[in-house]
Structure 1
């Protein structure tokens, strides 16, 4: 059983990290920037916009439709469509930095460079840790990347990616290379996030756990199925921490490649931190990885955030963040992320809350716990 008390030591360290982040933000930027954000309407984009405005920067966003956000300051909104190559709104303009959030397709980077090369001093490309060729052992940013094996990466479209999701990592890797080729190593920053979590995450890949441990409405039983033995590490990052750090990378003109994810913590510590954030003391039943695999319980989806620390996935949650920490990445305390995420989820319509998009259903969890208990006692 894991209680909130198990989390106290980690929480204290995380509190220091939050204090450091707050102090860093209070210092203010060394210079005011003109920032262009490609894709300012997704998960991290609006958070970048708000943080940049709070720090006095001039912000322009570029997307296919006007944002319905109530921005806390003036935001220039340009319209276009990168799928069709419509970038006319960017022509003849200059910015200090371009933050490219949504790109997976290499031709998007190529086309952006046609109008932005020489017009921006820094290009920040938001990639993914899925670019790595293997996840079987701990590694840093120098690890081999997933090779693209198709005929022409520049011919890949959103439609082909939808048909073959396994192209995601290789195409991001090609996009990274295209960014460096077009804008130059000294002016290119590559950020490779891990699992991005927090308020506003519609995938529920993290949200499941605050919801499950808080058990709103009593839809689940009193016993919580927890994966493995609690020792498997997990890595993730609050979208707000990621967004704010990217803006600071822009302020500092920092080039290079960085794994933008969190510090590895044991699953037991993770659930303890979530419990602390939603003010509960859950009754956890740790169920072996073998049992879960035998019963086709999927890591990452049925048991979100978690992946077994063995075999081909032994290094998935062991990506080095040394470079990112040196470049100023800081983190909110996990209980704050969990509490804020639950509060956001509870603002959603009742029918949406009734069906989380990740995690076990109450019925399946009850059956699995019953089988686990029978097997252990039989």
Structure 2
């Protein structure tokens, strides 16, 4: 298989490239060449898809499959799709569950309404950018396009810093503010499982839209944080705290306490999506303990969460220790 990855040095793109190489495929990446590295043997094409003639390096290429992780202007996704229309057999676009119009709804499936978006737009918020790019890719590739709506993505290489923050916090030890209840489900997908599934699905020319994330009952906050304690070997005590108390103290779910999204939160539906289609199409997910252990090993090797490709100023993730202590004391 001849694989082209648009991007290829970030979190999802990097995992996709690594998986392609592992399979012995011929792998090419297209990016600006400003961030990250690629494995030996990967062919690197340089270009800026937002610049005039920025896609010129793709001219004359011939690939079986392209995976595109773009999260910028939909017009740029449309332009890339048009350039590749006759040189790529199948197009996989990595989208997001954030495109759904009502993120609080339980059981969102692929036919649930999405936000209004324009395939020719050059700006917008994240849901609009992803939804617009979905439309752009479909307009060009039609049934030859797979739209993979990923949910929460964890695993080695994570450049947002959600699971790495919990690992470092637990490593410090002591009393840890753990957002209850411990049995609250966490729906996510390991980046390696996502990458492998996208390559499998793309190779067999699966089209349409799929919520590409694990099952809702895959794990819980308790299992995830217990795994963090186990792999770090830290002297940490998880202090499970009522979510109402945490929110009343001004602590923000998802940002101050990453991964956690309590019941009743306006975006809780994004961790309760219907994934019937994905798992019928072969998506399988490894245990949370493996994801946590491998992320910890990677984090110890790299030392710190890398900057997101093209987004050097990452928003703050995690709760300040002073604020955490105040909530625990109360």
1:233, 1:309 within 8 Å by CA — same for their partners in 2? Answer: no
Structure 1 position 77 matched with structure 2 position 36: no
d(CA) in 2 for partners of 1:203, 1:103: 14
Counterpart of 1:10?
A: none
d(CA) in 1 for partners of 2:304, 2:102: 40
Aligned residue runs from structure 1 range 166-245, under 5 A: 167-184=125-142, 186-215=143-172, 218=173, 222-245=174-197
Shift of 1:128: 0.5
d(CA) in 1 for partners of 2:26, 2:77: 23
1:66, 1:77 within 8 Å by CA — same for their partners in 2? Answer: no
Match of 2:240 among 283, 286, 296: 286
1:197, 1:239 within 8 Å by CA — same for their partners in 2? Answer: yes
d(CA) in 2 for partners of 1:349, 1:212: 14
Secondary structure of 1:300 counterpart: coil
What do the CA deviations read for 1:162-183 (whole angstroms, capped 9, x no partner)? Answer: xxxxx11022112111211111
Aligned residue runs from structure 1 range 128-143, under 5 A: 128-136=96-104, 137-143=106-112
Match of 2:26 among 58, 66, 83: 58
Pairwise CA RMSD: 2.3
Q: Which one has a bigger Cα radius of gyration?
A: 1
d(CA) in 1 for partners of 2:215, 2:101: 21
Aligned residue runs from structure 1 range 291-310, under 5 A: 291-310=245-264
1:275, 1:335 within 8 Å by CA — same for their partners in 2? Answer: no
The count of corresponding residues between Structure 1 and Structure 2 is 318
Secondary structure of 1:298 counterpart: coil
Match of 2:64 among 80, 96, 103: 96
Shift of 1:358: 2.0
- Give the direction of change, closer, same or farther, for the CA distance of 1:281–1:321 in structure 2 (3 Å limit): farther
What do the CA deviations read for 1:206-241 (whole angstroms, capped 9, x no partner)? Answer: 2122222233xx5xxx21111132233211222222
Match of 1:360 among 316, 319, 329: 319
Gaps (5+ residues) in structure 1?
1-32, 162-166, 372-378
d(CA) in 1 for partners of 2:305, 2:95: 33
Aligned residue runs from structure 1 range 256-335, under 5 A: 256-264=208-216, 265-279=219-233, 282-310=236-264, 312-335=266-289
2:71, 2:126 within 8 Å by CA — same for their partners in 1? Answer: no
Structure 1 position 145 matched with structure 2 position 114: yes
More helix by share: 1
TM-score by length of 1: 0.78
- Give the direction of change, closer, same or farther, for the CA distance of 1:366–1:36 in structure 2 (3 Å limit): same
Structure having greater relative contact order (Cα 8 Å, sep ≥ 6): 1
Structure 1 position 154 matched with structure 2 position 120: yes
d(CA) in 1 for partners of 2:23, 2:197: 12
d(CA) in 2 for partners of 1:64, 1:48: 18
d(CA) in 2 for partners of 1:92, 1:335: 45
d(CA) in 1 for partners of 2:294, 2:90: 33
